[in-house]
Structures are given as C-alpha cells and as structure tokens.
Structure 1
Amino acid sequence: MSKTVQAYFQTENDAESAKADLQSLSVQREMVEAIPGDVDLTPVVPVAGSANTGGGTFNFTEVITPKHDREEALSDKRHLTHVLHFSVKEEEYERAVGVIKDHNGHMNRNDLDDE
C-alpha cells in the first residue's frame, strides 16, 4: 500500500531538489507546483520541528496564531511557495519524510502524526 504526501517548500528549487532525492525510493506521481494563494497553510509545520521526526522545537501557538509582520501579512507561511505531491510505499514513508526534512520541507501536522 502507498501513502500520498504533500510537502511544502520555500522555493521551486528546494522542491525539485527534494523530488530528485526521492527518486532513490519507490515514489510515483511526483509533481511540483506553485502553491495557490488561497490555500490554508495553518496546519503546515516544518518537518524538522515535528515531534515525530526528532530535532528542532515545535511551537504550536505559532501554527494556531501565526506571527504577522507590520502590515499584518502572514509572515510565517508566506515563504512557502511550492508544493511537492507524490505517493510512496508505506514502508518507505519515514525515509521520504527524512528527505523532506533534509530539504527544509514542511508538511501537514496531521500527516506527521500518522507516522
């Protein structure tokens, strides 16, 4: 069985680089695209800061109430510009998450909790 993954990155280059590194795994239907402006990124957290992947710290209040800059723009998540979609075999899921972490990717917190 396989899992569908969406990982968010700061640049298209970061997403494409992660996609290239994922080729060592059994990934399918991989695609990089720009994140539409109306996507709710509230549940998206850095993989490096998730409780399940170790390392980093996770500040849940910043996900619930993200920081805003002086113009009240959402500053914490606006830096995410591209999303990488792919499917991976369940037995390789943790390795795929490791690749995303290595490329400073972000994922939906619920997907990380499913590990």
Structure 2
Amino acid sequence: MEHHLQAYFKNESDAETALAKLQRCPIRDARIDSIPDTDSNPFLLPALSFTTNSSPNTGIITDRDVISQADSSDTFHYLLEFYVKEEDRKEAVSILSKTDAHLDKEAYEKINKN
C-alpha cells in the first residue's frame, strides 16, 4: 500500500532541502508547488517521527500540544508532496521531522493512528 504525503514549508529552500534528504528513501512522484496566498493557513502541525508504539521519538507531547494551530505569524508558501510505500513511511516521516516540515491535521492523525 502507498501513502500520499504532503508537507508544508515556509520557503522553497526548506522544501528543496527536505526533498533532497528524502531521496535516500524510496519515494515517487515528488514535486514542490507554491501555495497561493490566502488569508489563513490550513490546520498544520510540525512533522514528528513516531516509534512503533506511536509515541513521538522527539519527546513527550500532550494532546494540548498536538491540537494547536500553527503560530498565526506562520505562513506556508510551499507544498512538497510525494508517494511512499507503507514500509518506508516511517522513515520518510522521520526525515521530515528533522526539517521545518508541517503536516495537515488529517495526515498527522493518520500517522499517529498507524
């Protein structure tokens, strides 16, 4: 099974850096697009890497930390999207967690649930 992942970035350089790091992971159809200016940001959360027991390996996070909107001063202008196989998904998310990537709430919940 494949997963379609989308990661949001504040600038193109951060998106390009993340894509370069993802090249060591088997991904396909990767692309970076600019996001049209809008008055509000989608509900985004920092990309976190999860261990097999669904706990973030970057430290303990409470529900209040997770269910919080990105800082209102944060504006995301670039989207990196790609497909990754199920067996490589955790590695891809781990790579994203070491960048300035943010995921939308639905993607975050899918990753957290699995």
Cα deviation code 1:45-71 (max 9, x no counterpart): 1114998534365252x42xx65xxxx
76, 86, 91: which is aligned to 1:90?
Answer: 86
Q: Alignment length, in residue pairs?
A: 104
2:103 aligned with 1:100: no
Matches within 5 A, 1:1-115: 1-38=1-38, 41-48=41-48, 52-55=55-58, 57=61, 58=65, 60=67, 62-63=68-69, 74-75=72-73, 77-78=74-75, 80-115=76-111
In the superposition, the TM-score normalised over structure 1's length comes to 0.75
Gaps of 5+ in 1: 68-73
In the superposition, the TM-score normalised over structure 2's length comes to 0.75
The CA RMSD measured in Å over matched residues stands at: 2.5
| Alpha-carbon distance between aligned partners in 1 of 2:4 and 2:39, rounded to the nearest angstrom | 18
Task: Specify the alignment match of 1:71 in structure 2.
Answer: none
State the percentage of identical aligned residues: 26
Change (3 A) 1:49 1:29: closer
Gaps of 5+ in 2: none
CA contact (8 A) 2:26 2:88 kept: yes
